Every structure is written in structure tokens, then in C-alpha cells.
């Protein structure tokens, strides 16, 4: 019996998932040759369904979550791939509203690794996962695949697909070491996901007049009109009286972007009734995006990891009159001072730093310097104990999705 069959019968641990983890999360390759070779070896699984490609600095995951929820409510079988995951690798691949199972993922990865061997190449973690996701969508017969770009766009593995629709949520300063030092340079990289003559949906913060000169092709531009009137609450919003489960004005911009994507899909012949969309959003949750952690009283998590993300998080706290105790941990290659500048605006009751085990985490001296504050630095175990204790004021954990995932695993809390 081979490893893949043995896994299905429960005799073995998921060996190919373990092999994937050995690649490490952060390998980057400028080029599409690897992913194209993998897809060719597997018979081009990406051609078996229409693809919606979502790029942007912030808001990709939330926009994808909104779009996936609405399409599922309309009766569409949706495949969705997002990154990074929080607690478990299977969170990166969703089919019809559910993350893929461990056994199914390991079987898919066994095929991907075989394709890698046949092609004689060494792919990155992200290239292997995207190939597995596209294979999963073919295997399950999805009717639409929502594919979230990992970083940039030009050389991102997801750009090997041929999308019928591209979405650009926001453009801000992040990953400058790879994408460039200006918003214009970063936008050019992300806009390489657009296609000639096909719709490009722009988030409400993006001006088509600014975007148009940065394009290397000629898509049709579709700016997303903002939603309103709006009633903001800390844990949800109401738009014209209709409840939206994801909180924050920035989430309403992401929702507006998803609605424009729906309109463009309708224009291409997808039957998506209007009356089913809003009810699907009322109690929607997306873990890691201003999310109340189940089982922990008054603990919220948000994955803001760059100044733009920290800005909208601080804006929301100020708009709602909430002053939380902050728990902050970041990756060392991020704009620590820019994030600190924005988070300070919410006038937190206290600030506590958290450092995980991975070497990529920012150290205590780096955080102290960025914040001009020698706040306590906790380990994951110590931070978990703090968060389980009682507190009269809300506690907000932020600075990195990787931090949120590490804490959830430490506390044995499953986000889905």
C-alpha cells in the first residue's frame, strides 16, 4: 500500500503535508515557470473553472470571504484559496463553504510532489499550495474559483491562471523589498493580474485616473461605489439598516468591492439573485479580522501588520469610543514604527508585546525602539495566560496574522 492510500485508511500521518512544511513558508521566486510547469504536468486543472483573482495590499481575504459567502448563498459552488492560514494549513483551501480535509489535502499534495519530480524542479511552499488548491477545485467541480494573490502580482503563482475577472482592493506600502518603494511601483506589480478586455474591479479607495497610467494592459475599469448610510458598532455594522457581521468602515469598503465583483459576474451571465446576498452577511465572521475569540471573554484579534491596516483598525476604535489593552507582536521585516504610530492613536489602556518562537518575529529591543516604550515582552505561553484571565476592558491582539495563529495553537482554539 502506498503512502497516499494508507493515509485514507488511517494508517499513516499526512506525510505530504509534513513534506510541504519542510519547505518553509517564506520562499519567494520571481517567475512563473515553476507553477506553469506544475500545472502542465497535472493537465492544467486551472482551466476547468472560471477564476476571480483578488490582489491588493490589504483587504484581499475579507473581500474574498464576502464574495464567497454571497456566491454560496446564491447557490454557486465556490472554491476559494486564501493565505496565510491561522491555525491549520487546511484553512487555505475552501470548497462550498468548508475547508478541505487533511486526508484530501495530503492526497492532492502527493500528486503535486509527483508533478514536481516529473518536471525536475524545486517549487516554493506557496507554488505547491496554489497548485494543490487548483487541483482541488477541479476535483470537486467548483463553478467559480476565488483565488487570492499572495504577494504583489506579476510573479505571484496565482498569476499563472487566466482570470475572467480581477479585483484590486487597495494599494499601500508593504513588502517594499520585493515590490518597490512607492505606491505607484507596488500598484504596477499588482496590476499585472489584470487582463486585456476583461473587468478590473477597483476598491473604493482607488481612483481610476491614478490606476489607468500604471496598467500594462487594457482591462475595463469598474470602481466600487461606497455603501451607506452606515451605522458603525465595535463588533458589527449596519448599512441602510442591514446588518454586516464584519466590523469596521474598511470592511464596508471590502464589501462594496465584493458587490461590484458580483455585478461584473452577473454581466458575464452568472445568475446571482440580489435578495439572497444581504442575509448571508448578517452573522458572517472571518477569523483574524476584528474577530471575537470564542471561549475568551472580551478578547479580539485583528491581523493588521502594516501601517494602512493599523490605521483602519485605530480609526474603528476611535469611531466606536473603544480603548483596549493592546497585545502586539510583529514580524521583524515589517514597518514597526509605522504600525506603532497608527496603533498609538487609539490611546490604548496598556501595551504588551508578544514574541513567538520563529526567528522572523521582531525582538523586544526592536519593538521598544519602534514604540518608544519599554513595555513587557511575553512569550506565547505567557500571553495565552494573560488572555484567559478576566479583564474589564477589551483586549485586542494585533500586529501579525502569524502571531494570531501561533496564539490560537498555543491555546488549542480552532478558528473554524
Rounded-to-integer distance, Cα 415 and Cα 235, Å: 17
- Backbone phi, then psi, for 325, in 5-degree steps? -80, 125
State residue 6's pLDDT score.
Answer: 40
pLDDT (tens place) for every residue of the chain, 416 residues total? 344 444 444 445 789 999 998 887 655 667 899 999 999 999 999 999 999 999 999 999 999 999 999 999 999 999 999 998 999 999 999 999 999 999 999 999 999 999 999 999 999 999 999 999 999 999 999 999 999 999 888 999 999 999 999 999 999 877 676 678 799 999 999 999 999 999 999 999 999 999 999 999 999 999 999 999 999 999 999 999 999 999 999 999 999 999 999 999 999 999 999 999 999 999 898 899 999 999 999 999 999 999 999 999 999 999 999 999 999 999 999 999 999 999 999 999 999 999 999 999 999 999 999 999 999 999 999 999 999 999 999 999 999 999 999 999 999 999 88
Q: 229: cis peptide before it, omega within 30°?
A: yes
Q: Give the DSSP letter string of 213-281.
A: GG-SS-PEEEEPPPP-SEEE-SS-EEETTEEESS-SHHHHHHHHHHHHHHHHHHHTT----GGGTGGGG
Domains (ranges, CATH) in the chain?
3-281 (3.40.1190.10), 291-410 (3.90.190.20)
End-to-end Cα, the chain, rounded Å: 33
Instruction: Return the C-alpha cell found at 305.
Output: 501588520
In 3D, which of 340, 401, 396, 343 has the Cα closest to residue 366? 340
Rounded-to-integer distance, Cα 330 and Cα 398, Å: 8
Which pTM does this prediction carry?
0.92
State residue 3's pLDDT score.
Answer: 41
Q: What is the DSSP letter of 54?
A: E
State residue 152's pLDDT score.
Answer: 87
Amino acid at each position: 500500500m502506498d503512502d497516499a492510500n494508507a493515509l485514507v485508511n488511517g494508517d499513516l500521518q499526512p506525510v505530504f503535508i509534513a513534506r510541504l512544511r519542510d519547505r518553509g513558508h517564506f520562499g519567494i521566486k520571481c517567475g512563473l515557470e515553476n507553477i506553469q510547469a506544475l500545472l502542465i504536468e497535472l493537465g492544467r486543472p486551472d482551466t476547468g473553472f472560471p477564476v476571480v483573482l483578488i490582489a491588493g495590499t490589504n483587504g484581499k481575504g475579507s473581500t474574498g470571504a464576502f464574495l464567497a459567502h454571497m456566491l454560496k448563498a446564491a447557490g454557486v459552488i465556490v472554491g476559494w484559496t486564501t493565505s496565510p492560514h491561522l491555525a491549520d494549513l487546511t484553512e487555505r483551501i475552501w470548497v462550498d463553504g468548508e475547508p478541505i480535509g487533511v486526508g484530501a489535502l495530503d492526497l492532492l499534495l502527493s500528486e503535486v510532489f509527483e508533478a514536481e519530480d516529473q518536471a525536475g524542479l524545486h517549487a516554493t511552499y506557496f507554488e505547491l499550495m496554489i497548485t494543490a488548491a487548483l487541483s482541488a477545485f477541479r476535483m470537486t467541480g467548483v463553478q467559480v474559483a476565488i483565488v487570492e494573490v499572495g504577494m504583489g502580482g506579476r510573479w505571484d503563482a496565482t498569476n499563472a491562471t487566466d482570470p475572467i475577472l480581477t479585483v484590486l482592493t487597495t494599494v499601500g506600502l508593504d513588502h517594499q523589498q520585493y515590490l518597490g518603494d512607492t505606491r505607484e511601483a507596488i500598484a504596477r506589480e499588482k496590476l499585472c493580474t489584470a487582463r486585456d478586455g476583461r473587468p478590473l474591479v477597483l476598491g473604493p479607495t482607488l481612483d481610476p485616473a491614478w490606476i489607468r497610467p500604471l496598467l500594462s494592459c487594457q482591462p475595463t475599469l469598474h470602481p466600487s461605489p461606497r455603501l451607506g448610510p452606515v451605522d458603525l458598532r465595535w463588533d458589527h455594522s449596519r448599512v441602510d439598516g442591514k446588518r454586516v457581521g464584519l466590523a469596521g468602515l474598511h470592511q464596508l469598503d471590502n464589501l462594496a468591492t465584493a458587490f461590484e465583483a458580483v455585478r461584473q459576474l452577473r454581466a458575464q451571465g452568472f445568475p446571482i439573485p440580489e435578495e439572497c446576498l444581504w442575509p448571508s452577511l448578517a452573522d458572517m465572521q472571518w477569523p483574524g479580522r476584528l474577530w471575537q475569540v470564542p471561549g475568551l471573554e472580551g478578547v479580539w484579534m485583528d491581523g493588521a501588520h502594516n501601517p494602512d491596516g493599523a490605521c483602519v483598525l485605530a480609526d474603528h476604535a476611535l469611531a466606536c469610543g473603544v480603548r483596549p489593552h493592546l497585545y502586539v507582536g510583529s514580524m521583524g521585516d515589517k514597518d514597526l514604527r509605522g504600525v506603532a504610530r497608527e496603533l498609538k492613536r487609539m490611546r490604548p489602556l496598556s501595551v504588551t508585546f508578544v514574541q513567538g518562537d520563529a526567528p522572523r518575529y521582531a525582538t523586544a529591543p526592536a519593538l521598544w525602539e519602534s514604540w518608544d516604550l519599554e513595555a513587557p515582552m511575553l512569550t506565547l505561553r505567557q500571553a495565552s495566560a494573560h488572555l484567559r484571565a478576566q479583564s474589564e476592558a477589551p483586549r485586542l491582539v494585533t500586529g501579525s496574522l502569524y502571531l494570531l495563529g501561533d496564539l490560537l495553537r498555543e491555546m488549542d482554539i480552532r478558528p473554524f
